[in-house]
């Protein structure tokens, strides 16, 4: 091999990896996002197991909408989340989602009939969808690209 030729691996430049020590503020943000994601995911799945006793207590017949209202409301919010974050900021958006989620939980807990329960699940779904989406946006903002997979795995865990 002469000096003008190069080996196949020598043309690939590797970016230097710079590791920055994460502070307490970073880890508190990550832990709080993981906790809110856990609560939203738990609420999304927990109602299915308790639905027969809920329907019996409320003497309802349209129980299909109890689970679907949450999923539909959280999915309907997703296209708007980028604009909401750009308009109002990350912190107010995630806090509003947590408040909506808590308000929906309170409405579900105070439900006297199936219609009130479905309405509460809809409000809860809007908050839960915001939590899921805004958490991903915040995580992408505070982590560098080369570490993002690690933190996405942590969120998925």
Within-domain flag for 10: no
CATH code assigned at 82:
1.20.1250.20
For 7, the 3-state DSSP assignment is: coil
What's the structural domain count of the chain?
1
Burial class (CB in 10 A: 0-12, 13-18, 19+), 83: exposed
CB proximity list for 149: less than 8 A, separation 6 or greater: none
Across the chain, mean pLDDT equals 85
Is 87 a domain residue? yes
> In this model, does residue 121 exceed pLDDT 90?
yes
Q: What is the pLDDT of residue 7?
A: 52
Residue-wise pLDDT for 12-69, tens only, equals 556 556 666 788 999 999 999 999 999 888 887 788 788 888 888 888 777 788 888 9
User: How far apart, in whole angstroms, are the C-alpha atoms of residue 26 and residue 155?
Assistant: 14
pLDDT at position 53, please?
85
Contact 78/94 with Cβ under 8 angstroms?
Answer: no
Residue 16 lies in a domain: no
Q: What is the pLDDT of residue 14?
A: 60
Q: Which domain holds residue 142?
A: 24-156
Q: Which residues of 65-74 are buried (b: 16+ CB within 10 A; e: fewer)?
A: bbbebbebbb
pLDDT in tens, 50-66: 888 888 888 877 778 88
Whether the predicted pLDDT of 97 surpasses 90: yes
Domain membership flag for residue 1 = no
Note whether residue 102 is domain-resident: yes
User: Is position 15 within any domain?
Assistant: no
> Does 138 map to a domain?
yes
Q: Which is it for the CA torsion 81, 85, 87, 88, positive or negative?
A: positive
Q: Is the pLDDT of residue 5 over 90?
A: no
Burial of 90 (0-12, 13-18, 19+ CB in 10 A): middle
The token duo for 150 is 């690690």
In this prediction, residue 15 carries a pLDDT of 56
Nearest CA to 140 out of 81, 52, 58, 55 is that of: 81
Cβ atoms of 153 and 31 closer than 8 Å: no
| pLDDT of amino acid 67 | 82
Classify residue 13: in a domain, yes or no.
no
Question: Please, which pLDDT band fits residue 126 given cuts at 50, 70 and 90?
Answer: very high
Confidence category of residue 134, pLDDT binned at 50, 70, 90: very high
pLDDT score recorded for residue 50: 82
């Amino acid at each position: 091999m002469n000096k003008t030729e190069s080996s196949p691996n020598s043309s690939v430049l590797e970016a230097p990896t710079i590791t920055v020590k994460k502070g307490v503020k970073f880890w508190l943000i990550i832990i709080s996002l993981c906790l809110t994601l856990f609560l939203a995911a738990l609420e999304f799945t927990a109602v299915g197991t308790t639905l027969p006793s809920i329907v019996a207590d409320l003497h309802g017949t349209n129980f299909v909408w109890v689970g679907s209202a949450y999923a539909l409301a959280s999915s309907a919010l997703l296209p708007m989340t980028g604009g909401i974050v750009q308009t109002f900021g990350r912190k107010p958006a995630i806090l509003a989602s947590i408040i909506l989620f808590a308000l929906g939980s309170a409405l579900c807990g105070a439900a006297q009939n199936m219609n009130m329960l479905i309405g509460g699940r809809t409000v809860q779904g809007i908050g839960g969808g915001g939590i899921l989406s805004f958490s991903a946006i915040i995580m992408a903002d505070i982590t560098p690209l080369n570490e993002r997979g690690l933190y996405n795995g942590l969120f998925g865990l």
